[in-house]
A and B are shown apart, each in its own frame.
Chain A
């Protein structure tokens, strides 16, 4: 795969070491400094080799990077890290590093698991700015070039004026070190369903960057919810206040909003967080987008921040059982709603046979986006109503994948009432969505590591409903860097991963790992 890459710069190009930055040493260690200061040729080969190693590690089957040749020419494949020599194409095991070093006087190796550089003279991992830049680029965008790809273009449309460092320094203020974006939001009286959704927006890096980089500006709309969001982001990320936040503007924008579909939401009573999420997304789309109403179900898409963040596309393929004719229908979606009830019942059956009582998020996704179901539809080919097979898959994954686990089911029948399903659903910190995509289902993608990486999502926030359906309370967990925090209205506490993963999630927000 790497050889087929046409954009790989040919050898005549001279690589440059990353220029000196303030507050950062120029090289990872004094030995790398020597290496880079030998001559241009050495610098070229070192950087070129490092890039090749990164491609081997990230784009190819791990079998290659995990296979080493020992000093007596024995080939060993191991589960534990191997070391890829930076100065020649050999891969060695940890024990053979020194032998290889004395024999060839090669002193730098790349760890096959983390792609970090090991310096034999330091006898330590070294993190060189030049190499780290390459590594992060490979991991984040799977390309080394600065030519941005489509997804990024939409997100961070480059503006030559506004992106220049001088413009930025002249027009921005440096936020205080104390402002970390971690604040609670006061409960204004049964508004915890709003707070949890607001927190998940606040800790969404895409939305944060949009608002902090003045994405929503020059707005004259009175009581604009997007302006209220803008204020809130400022208060969270730029102000030295650790007290809770009073979301008065959001609340009044919410009350004033004339969104008919959400009229029943606007009460002083406890409401559904998922409905509020939909409301907020549509309202923000209205304020930032193309002005068209986002019809759920149609293929409508616009370039507003909400669409770029949350919206993906679903494809429903219907195959007529009579004429085998296929129709495809594409819809955009804001979130994936996964029913729990059917699966709970099925599982309940299994439980009796000795199965486990819990289910996983992947099982729920399988049920909706892998399995076929039967339906009746009017086939155009046969010109009559026919039995058909229907299969839904994800055509385009969003940058932030929101998943609702339908814990509140409306029981039909004489005693109409809503009931809460309390079944625990296990969800992963890292989610691979490839099996549920149209691409992933169509072809053999097992060997495509780059595609798999593009479909890898990291858990970003979790909204949990505790208690009964009428008297419950919402709390949420959000991740900042690698640390999880628990948000309970105005109270913010440190949370452990186990707290998060053991929660009975209602809404899950996953963010894509790589913007390829």
Chain B
């Protein structure tokens, strides 16, 4: 048809001028057809995803009703022998059949795994909508697109003082400060908005001490790899020891090398340590509690991560406080942290002013009915990856 139409292809968007020569018209019509194909492919893909999700939702809903109807009478039965009908589907003989096009009958999407409704809009940032607080949604949320925040709406407190930065500086810039209900305790985990995370600590597998993650590589270098500055000191000490006791005190003042902690102990100077301890992140545990598990640290952090929907109104934008994001410049005077990225263009110009305008989302704390969701992770993965195309080509 398209070639016959002459001036334009099927999409009817790219048209040649009327006085164009036939080759010109053909070129326009080919381009127009290709445009049509592109839109067609994209549309089919989105349509398939959406329609399958709605059809499955209709099935899940009628199955739920069927299970409810035999509630408790016959335990452990997956496919009760009842007949149930909804607007969208019929449940009969353990099978679900559609009544009409699910795009017309079904408006929401239920998660095939936990059978809870899916949140269809992000809670913050681009395209955000307020979720219905009375509904418990599936925990899988649409990803958030908001400058300065990650896909879960999280942001990070800047790495704490101790690396050339003074604690006072940090506090000054703390956006919590003006609004903080209890001044003087900012920086501690309790007062931080729950979407602001701090850097965790991890246990060194050799010396079992808790090290702030940003220093883990350096620590392991000195602890395992023998490449830190302790190594050279240890070597120097070895040499001086082997030279005999008589020379020992000649060149080196006592307390300098002698006082150096043994390899495997803390590398930082006592002064630094004080400053680090002031940072509330529990980055370091003393020898008295050497086996502080990293799990603990991460778990407690996890609890804090509840979703907040900060209203990104214009008011917010106007309130230009400089939240200390991770992206902001990190001091690397010591040269060791040289990879912490500096992306000034990304720094968040609008402070999130976390204490205002926050709406609590219905907490996704409800455990998913794990007993019902039958699709096991492995099962599903293997199936989809082996029978379907591996790298999910256009479906």
Which chain A residues have a beta carbon within 8 Å of chain B's beta carbons? 20, 22-30, 33, 76-81, 93-95, 111, 113-114, 116, 122, 124-127, 133, 136-137, 139-141, 148, 152, 156, 163, 165, 168-169, 172-178, 180, 182, 184, 186-192, 205-206, 208-209, 212-213, 223, 237-238, 240-244, 246, 248-249, 251-252, 255-256, 266-268, 270, 399, 456-458, 460, 471, 473-475, 481-483, 485, 488-494, 511-515
Contacts and interface: CB of A to CB of B under 8 A. Distances in A.
Interface in B140-158: 140, 143-145, 150-152, 154, 156
B197 A190 contact: no
Contacts of B115: 23
Contacts of B390: 140, 205-206, 399, 511-515
Nearest to B375: A174
Nearest to A458: B391
B376 interface: yes
B128 interface: no
A23 B112 contact: yes
Contact of B336 (A77, A94, A190): A190
B55 to A, nearest CB: 5
Contact of A22 (B206, B374, B388): B374
Interface in B203-235: 203-206, 213-218, 220-221, 224-225, 227-228
Contact of A79 (B2, B327, B374): B2
Contact of B96 (A24, A191, A206, A238): A24
B111 A177 contact: yes
B224 A81 contact: no
Contact of B218 (A33, A152, A189, A223): A189
Contacts of A188: 202, 213-217, 220
Contact of A268 (B51, B197, B227, B378): B227
10 contacts: A78-B10, A79-B9, A114-B44, A137-B387, A168-B378, A169-B374, A237-B377, A248-B294, A475-B341, A483-B143
Interface stretch (B98-106, B174-182, B269-277, B284-292): B98-106
A212 B378 contact: yes
B379 interface: yes
B220 A252 contact: yes
Given A240-B302, A493-B145, A78 B3 contact: yes
B217 to A, nearest CB: 4
Given A78-B1, A491-B326, A122 B338 contact: no
A205 B391 contact: yes
Contacts, number: 317
A74 B138 CA distance: 53
The SS class assigned to the A binding surface is loop
B326 to A, nearest CB: 7
Given A187-B340, A246-B200, A213 B51 contact: no
Nearest to B299: A241
Given A25-B55, A125-B48, A189-B218, A20 B200 contact: no
A176 B385 CA distance: 20
Nearest to A138: B389
B218 A270 contact: no
Contacts of A127: 48, 51-52, 55
B109 interface: no
Contacts of A187: 213-214, 339-340
Interface string B20-43: 000000000010011011001100
A348 B386 CA distance: 45
B265 interface: no
